[in-house]
Amino acid sequence: MKKIPLIILTGPTAVGKTALSIELAKDLNAEIISADSMQIYEYMDVGSAKVTKEEMDGVIHHLIDEVKPDYAFSVSEFQKRANKYIKDIDDRGKKVLVTGGTGLYLNSLIYDMDFAKSNSNSKLREELELELKENGIDYMHEKLRALDEDAANRIHKNNTKRVIRALEVCLDGKKMQDFSTELKYNENYQPIIIVLNRDREVLYERINKRGDLMMENNLIDEVKHLLDIGYDKNLISMQGIGYKEIVKYLEGEYSLDEAIEIIKRDSRRYAKRQITWFKRYKESKWFDLDKYDNSEILKEDILNYIENIFKNV
């Protein structure tokens, strides 16, 4: 069976994926599939650093503005929609470039993850649901945090079903994120994984500048608008970095300076977790952007790397 080449351009937040992905897509005759868990939502542009129509420069993007902020979008749904787009792009004779930094989304394409066949432990789930009734969701969410902090950070405590499911997975002996150690590669695709990185201090400075730029681009007005048109502050989408902090500022819990500093701090922490995640991709090629004074040379090096893999497939 023919494997579809899947060019994956990833890296931590603010490293510089967007502009490079568009230039690569032009040279490769590719369409872009976004693997970003926030850019999937309409109306959430500033806080997600969403690529603009002008920046796209004619390159077709998929899974941008795909759903409304109150839609309960999941990894399994990302996988289903992305698979459909990949087939369509390939059928039209174009290449597929997946770009974004949401590790679970990338895993759902790289590895053979069948969500429909995921195991469940009904007895354990019943025990957890009883524990929920007795102790409340705050207790259960903290229990999840003790077992898998990343899962607790991803799942809002009001999403009771997902909290219980995550606890079930953890207590059944597996962390939610440990896919790479237990899953085989997806036989439908030939992944070509390119990871962009920078010196940690340089990356953190870029993240801090992005936080300031979000304020200049009226993130506060964006959050106000979302609340004004009826989107609840407890939605999963509203738990994204930048959104929940501005909500707390608007409610008087944070000063504006505090909110901005927390956005920057949590973005830096997120970048650190992303880098740890991407290091698990053994079949990946890392490019240190600080070593390139010229973006054209960087692009040519990446294109040469991709071309060499195509020759050997």
Of the ranges 53-57, 120-124, 174-178, which one carries the lowest mean pLDDT score?
A: 174-178
pLDDT bin (cut points 50, 70, 90) of residue 180 is very low
Q: What is the pLDDT of residue 60?
A: 98
- Output the average pLDDT for the chain: 91
Longest dimension (CA), the chain: 61
Of the ranges 87-91, 176-180, 261-265, which one carries the lowest mean pLDDT score?
A: 176-180
Residue 251 CA to residue 243 CA, distance in Å, equals 12
What integer is the mean pLDDT of 218-222? Answer: 98
Q: Name the helix (H) or strand (E) containing 266.
A: helix 256-278
Q: Is the pLDDT of residue 119 over 80?
A: no
Q: What is the pLDDT of residue 150?
A: 79
Note the Cα 87 to chain centre separation in Å: 21
Higher pLDDT, 112 or 209: 209
- Strands 30-34 and 61-62, sheet pairing: parallel
Q: Name the helix (H) or strand (E) containing 78.
A: helix 75-91
Of the ranges 49-58, 70-79, 122-131, 266-275, which one carries the lowest mean pLDDT score?
A: 122-131
Q: Is the pLDDT of residue 173 over 70?
A: no
